[in-house]
Structure 1
Amino acid sequence: MPLSLIQAKLDRALATSQFFSVWQVVNGSVLPRIGSDHHPILVLCSSCVSRGPVPFRFQRMWVFHDSFRYLITSSWALPCASPNPLLWVMWKLKRLHQSIKVWNKNVCGDVNHKMEQVRQIHVDIETLGYTAALRDKELDAQMMLSQTLLLQFEFLKQKARFAWLKDGDRNTAFFHRRSQIRNGRTGIQGLMVDGSYTNDTAILEDHIISYYKELFANTGGTIADYTLVDQVISPRVGAQDNASLTAIPSDSKIKEAIFYMDSDSSPGPDSFNGIFYCHFWDVISVKVIAAVRFFFISCPCLWV
């Protein structure tokens, strides 16, 4: 049998959930072979994750809180002086960001902290005995526990980004492990900068910012000529199809497009995802429809 070169790359490892609860960032580097036919793998672990300020993201669990609809309704009803419907909606959403942040801190609160409060009431009952005062506290705690479990389930479900799991399976431990694994994979831990590998945070930040500035900036001060595209690629959309595509959409078409969005999709530039627009459509529909129709009327050059 002739000799042949057989190579294989082993780039998978197994770890327990306890491992990921201690080490949030795990990196593996393949080192050169020295005195062996195997490449050693260097595993670097860190328990400190530096991701900078956390941006606002709409949480699915908020829609299940009793007072959240009142917050949305009252905030959206506040006046906003702008003749431009697009700016009107943008300012409304921006103001809603701040209102939700305050509400989440003062009203909704931390889910894990509420779980601890419920457990403490049960400990008091076991220690002090069953009294009328503790009975009332227990009833309130059971109601709070039911809502807290729902909020915790929805929070971990969105964090884990598993849309295929059915709503009845409240496997929060599974969601938590998936979230830990995903957090360990995301983020840029190091890059090749000017031919050298570095994991210095300041160098990485400057390199990424300068890269995209050079990529998108127009340093020449001239407008690019895209007429070559029309000469190379023949148009596939006729005049009739183009008129249909650029027509101002009706209210029902706008609503259909909104409700077609995945409720568990990643949020857009405004930090709100599909579940917000669908769940509170009765509150925001008038201004959203006006903003979409205004866009089609005021920006026809984008559709020619």
Structure 2
Amino acid sequence: MEEAGVLDVGFSGASFTWSNNRRGRARVSKRLDRFLINGSCLDLSDVISVLHLPRHPSDHAPLKITFSDRSDNSPRPFRFLNVWTSKPELLDVIRQAWNQDVSRSPLRVLCSKLLAMRRAIHTWNKQHFGNIFDVVCSAEVVVKQAEESMDQYASEELQVELSKAQAELRNALLIEEQFWSQKARAKWLKQGDRNSKYFHAVVRQIRIKGIIHRIKLAWTKDMMIGEERNLGGHQC
């Protein structure tokens, strides 16, 4: 799967897709059927869900694939990016936000300091990193322009400018790769080219697998007794 560049999007429903349909200790059940997608398929839909349907009358379960869109406007949680630690001034930003005087209860003080530190880091991030994807695009444009100038008017000064532009692009690409690496929580790197595309696919896979497709309410004995009381002791 890794060599082919395909991902398992997970499933909902029964845990197994095949059974030998025997009884007792001779019965064997496995998850033999999987729905695999590549990176291009991830771009077709925001939500891809796979449901294991009942096996009867076959010994294999059919897989039902659903493509749908999802609008998610909820606030995003704060996540610390490891790439921020490449800037030594981050410690000063955190220290300044944490040392602010707050006269409240101890728990309120802690919450206020954490909130102030979060806002300070957000502001600092916009000033020093900004949108890392826009930075990569801008760096690529600068390198392209420097290459064209070097091709037409070769000089020592233009060579220096091209080297600087290439260094900025390498740094921007490294930051982008570190960002996706952390988001994907991958423990290893693929050999060869940049891994940002691979990490991006892993992040999309994690999001798809983390979607809650349905909630099942399990009725307990106490809940049933309470329902009977609400109905005046009459059972439905």
The answer as to 2:117 corresponding to 1:93 is no
Is residue 55–residue 62 contact of structure 2 (8 Å, CA) maintained in 1? yes
Q: Higher mean Cα deviation, 149-158 or 131-140? A: 131-140
Segments of 5+ residues of structure 2 without an aligned counterpart are 1-19, 220-236
Q: CA shift at 1:183, angstroms? A: 1.2
Choose which of 32, 35, 46 in structure 2 pairs with 1:13. 35
**3-state DSSP class of the match of 1:61?**
helix
Is residue 149–residue 158 contact of structure 2 (8 Å, CA) maintained in 1? no
User: Equivalent residue for 2:169?
Assistant: 145
Is residue 35–residue 50 contact of structure 2 (8 Å, CA) maintained in 1? no
**3-state DSSP class of the match of 1:165?**
coil
Q: Distance in 2 between matches of 1:174 and 1:89?
A: 38
1:82 corresponds to which letter in structure 2? S
**Higher RCO, 1 vs 2 (CA within 8 Å, ≥6 residues apart):** 1
User: Equivalent residue for 2:188?
Assistant: 165
1:172 corresponds to which letter in structure 2? S
**3-state DSSP class of the match of 2:101?**
coil
Q: CA shift at 1:178, angstroms? A: 1.4
| CA distance 1:36–1:133, shift in 2 (3 Å) | same
Structure having the higher helix fraction is 1
User: Equivalent residue for 2:74?
Assistant: 52
Choose which of 65, 80, 83 in structure 2 pairs with 1:61. 83
Cα RMSD for the two superposed structures: 3.6
1:112 corresponds to which letter in structure 2? F
The answer as to 2:96 corresponding to 1:74 is yes
Is residue 65–residue 147 contact of structure 1 (8 Å, CA) maintained in 2? no
Q: CA shift at 1:32, angstroms? A: 4.3
| Matched positions, count | 191
Is residue 180–residue 200 contact of structure 2 (8 Å, CA) maintained in 1? yes
Choose which of 119, 127, 147 in structure 1 pairs with 2:140. 119
Q: Distance in 2 between matches of 1:83 and 1:155?
A: 37
Percent same amino acid among aligned pairs? 26
**3-state DSSP class of the match of 2:143?**
helix
Q: Distance in 2 between matches of 1:46 and 1:152?
A: 28
**3-state DSSP class of the match of 1:192?**
coil
The answer as to 2:46 corresponding to 1:24 is yes
Q: Distance in 1 between matches of 2:104 and 2:216?
A: 49
Q: Distance in 2 between matches of 1:119 and 1:109?
A: 16
Q: Higher mean Cα deviation, 151-160 or 132-141? A: 132-141
TM-score, normalization: structure 2? 0.63
Q: CA shift at 1:51, angstroms? A: 6.3
**3-state DSSP class of the match of 2:64?**
strand
User: Equivalent residue for 2:201?
Assistant: 177
Q: Distance in 2 between matches of 1:146 and 1:65?
A: 17
Q: Distance in 1 between matches of 2:112 and 2:158?
A: 47
The answer as to 2:126 corresponding to 1:102 is no
Q: Distance in 2 between matches of 1:94 and 1:29?
A: 41
Structure having the higher strand fraction is 2
| CA distance 1:183–1:49, shift in 2 (3 Å) | farther
